[in-house]
Amino acid sequence: MATEPEPQGPARLPLGPPAQGGRRPAARGTGLAAGRIVAPTAVQAVPGLPVRTGDSTPEWLEPAMAANGIGSFDWDIRRDLIEADQRACAIIGVAGGRLDRSAESFLTLLHPEDAPVVRRRVERAVAELGQCGAYYRTVFPGGELHAVRFRGRVLADAFGRPSRMVGFVWDATAELHKREDADRQAALREERSRFIKEAARALSEAVTVRDVARVFTELPLPGLPPDGLVLAALETGRLKILGASGYRHEDVTVYDRAPLEPFQPAAEAVRRRVPVFLSSREEYRERFPQAWTRAATTGRSAWAFLPLVASGRAIGLCVVSFDEARELDTDERTLLSTLGGLVAQSLARARLHDAEHELAAGLQRVMLPRTVPAVPGVTTAVRYLPAGSGLQIGGDWYDVVPLPGGHVGLVIGDVQGHDVHAAGIMGQLRIALRAYAAEGHPPAAVMARASRFLADLDTDHFATCTYAEVNVDYGVVYAVRAGHLDPVVRRTDGSSCVQSVVGGLPLGVSADQSYQVTRFSLDPGDTLVLCTDGLVESRRMDLDTGMGRLCTVVSGELPPRREGALDPLEELADRIAAGAADSSEREDDIALLLLRWDGPEGGLAAQQLRRRIGQADLARVAELRGELRDALRRWGVAELIDTAELLASELVTNAIRHTDRDAMFTARLYREDGREPRLRIEVEDESDLWPKRRTPGEQASSGRGLMLVEALADAWGVEPRGTGKRMWFELTAGEAG
């Protein structure tokens, strides 16, 4: 006969409800029908755990069974009657010491999950005239759960039909508990292994010290959930609390930045670099009496002080505490020690990262302007976004420089490289360029001098840069570009476009490089956007696509300016910065500079234009004509542009040709009640020679200046000054043309 293999315990048996009793169908021969054992008689045999009475137990076997707590059973299959001895009844949990019932009623004594398993095994043994055995659980009358193991054999009658099953039962509760404990320990070990893996992953992703503290204080320790966690760093003999959970604030603050005194358990753990475990309040008080007074107020009853050791030195401490007294076993202590090692490595790495970041941030703060000066008539906003890798420092910079005459200079640049050397060069170049601009040099000269300065440094670095001088009076921009990006202009209607600026070589490439100036105008409320290439270019995005995206971000509606609310220009700067790549993916640092030309109230430009014309600076005359055109258009007297430009050119040219000193040009628009606007243009010089009106010949190339002034101006004249003279003319807007 085949013997059924030993079961592995109820926890591994398939589950299912026991079969319910009911009408027993007639049987034919021996076999299985409808999942029940069919006896050779008309009585159906229901599978179950049979037991037998002690009256058939041989006398020589009884002492051995009694000594080992083994009971016997006897199941009469034909009559479906189970009998058991007293020991079997005690093991099964039947009161009264007597069992005399059917198999179906006996199955009701079993745990609902185990009854189907026992039924299937008994059915198979009956069908095969073989043996069977299993673990099963029974619930005693008092509610306790016990485990029983049985082994039985089916006996046949003279005709080879199953007649009886006889066997033994014995208590397996201890064995079951042992198995359950083993399974529980195996599950706990697996859970701890999984916890170590998850903790290692979480701590490896922690970048800053704050991240490490957050991860540590949120760790769910398996099998020993702590009631309190503290993470502290060791700094010059003091503990700096980085994070804590499960403690009142006042219980933690008393230790924050307090000296690590030698009588404390934390000091012993740090000094010896081995964990200190205290399983009870009594042990704490006995081993560290001087420290107990303060520790007693926390309400804890067990502690683990774990030193954080990295590179052979203690850098901090973890404290794990419990409300109840607890003796940690070897596995628990190993788990905590392993956790301490993971936290130590992560904390050391995070402290290094924070130190590097603070160094980079401090250096960048020194290199960049601390504040942007306020200039009447314009509003500025700046942003600096470090790269997402390395020291997070680079050569990008911005600057706003107040200039003589109420102008303002804007600088945006990027020194080649992404390291401390590039940042140092950037600082030197920023200061030099600011000095050149503040001296009053025109934009082209400022850029040429800056290029020569960088070339003379002999650093093998170059820099791209855009410098723009903004005339605050009437919104004209004079821009110079040295290998940098074109600026973007946002108009008051929400549209935006790239403003083309004539470019030159980057700074430092050639000491003799010259640059051209591009002139364009802003309307009141227009915004000039300057940025470095980190905002619009990356390995995944080309420059044209990036500039298009920038224009899209710059465009659109902005909230109106309201008192007490954030300026719309700041919101626009935030919008542009938010459109940049995430800091973890950003490959280059980004400098961003925005300027909005506000103009005077009412949206009209200031109605006075005053410029000095250098005696040898003939190119300035052409620039002056352009400034005058813009000024008259913004003042609302565009009909005077052609005449005023022609006559102003004559007076300025006459002043610089016939003197050896600079000339001062002034244009003013007067608005008087009830009268048309009147434009007065004056040119002052230091010559005592007065102009003479004369009629030139047909072949003469000069001498017509005063004739034009006299013919086209509404009024003109020459006025003496202390030294020199002032020539002037006036035009009335309503009478022009």
Same domain, 46 and 163: yes
Same domain, 329 and 218: yes
Which positions ≥6 away from 225 have C-beta within 8 Å? none
Same domain, 451 and 349: no
Amino acid at 39: A
Task: Report yes or no on 289 lying in a domain.
Answer: yes
Model pLDDT, residue 494: 87
Model pLDDT, residue 65: 81
**CATH number, domain with residue 47:** 3.30.450.20
**CATH number, domain with residue 565:** 3.60.40.10
**Residue 491 C-beta-side C-alpha neighbours within 13 Å:** 8
Same domain, 594 and 616: no
Beta bridge partners of 679: 669, 731
CA 722 to CA 539: how far, in whole Å? 66
Model pLDDT, residue 510: 84
Backbone angles phi, psi at 215, to 5 degrees: -60, -45
Of the candidates 523, 520, 518, 519, the one whose C-alpha atom is nearest the C-alpha of residue 491 is: 523
Same domain, 310 and 391: no
Please say which residue of 580, 602, 624 terminates a domain. 602
Task: Report yes or no on 363 lying in a domain.
Answer: no
Of the candidates 672, 685, 677, 694, the one whose C-alpha atom is nearest the C-alpha of residue 731 is: 677
Task: Report yes or no on 365 lying in a domain.
Answer: no
Q: What is the 3-state secondary structure (H, E, C) of 356-416?
A: HHHHHHHHHHHHCCCCCCCCCCEEEEEEEECCCCCCCCCCEEEEEEECHHHCEEEEEEEEC
DSSP conformation class of 505: P
Same domain, 400 and 419: yes
Number of folded domains that form the chain: 4
Model pLDDT, residue 596: 93
Task: Report yes or no on 4 lying in a domain.
Answer: no
Model pLDDT, residue 188: 76
Task: State the CB neighbour count (10 A cutoff) for residue 25.
Answer: 12
Q: Give this prediction's pTM.
A: 0.51
Please say which residue of 326, 358, 390 terminates a domain. 358
Which positions ≥6 away from 459 have C-beta within 8 Å? 421, 425, 508
Task: Report yes or no on 183 lying in a domain.
Answer: no
CB-based contact 155:166 (threshold 8 Å):
yes
Please say which residue of 558, 575, 602 terminates a domain. 602
- Report how far apart, in Å, the C-alpha atoms of 529 and of each of 399, 460, 551, 665 are: 13, 30, 10, 31
Task: Report yes or no on 438 lying in a domain.
Answer: yes
Same domain, 385 and 493: yes
**CATH number, domain with residue 639:** 3.30.565.10
Beta bridge partners of 469: 409, 478
Same domain, 409 and 544: yes
Same domain, 322 and 337: yes
Of the candidates 471, 473, 501, 496, the one whose C-alpha atom is nearest the C-alpha of residue 486 is: 501
Task: Report yes or no on 716 lying in a domain.
Answer: yes
Model pLDDT, residue 52: 43
* pLDDT by 10-residue block (mean), the chain, 737 residues: 37 32 36 36 36 54 80 89 87 76 84 88 91 85 83 91 91 78 78 84 87 87 84 89 88 86 91 92 93 88 92 90 90 88 91 77 68 85 75 76 85 80 82 88 91 86 92 85 93 88 90 87 88 85 88 86 81 87 63 86 61 74 84 86 91 78 85 83 80 53 70 88 82 71
Same domain, 426 and 544: yes
Same domain, 525 and 560: yes
CB-based contact 438:492 (threshold 8 Å):
no
DSSP conformation class of 423: H
**CATH number, domain with residue 308:** 3.30.450.40
CB-based contact 359:549 (threshold 8 Å):
no
Of the candidates 76, 101, 78, 80, the one whose C-alpha atom is nearest the C-alpha of residue 89 is: 101
Structural domain of 338 = 198-358
CA 176 to CA 146: how far, in whole Å? 9
Task: Report yes or no on 677 lying in a domain.
Answer: yes
Same domain, 596 and 613: no
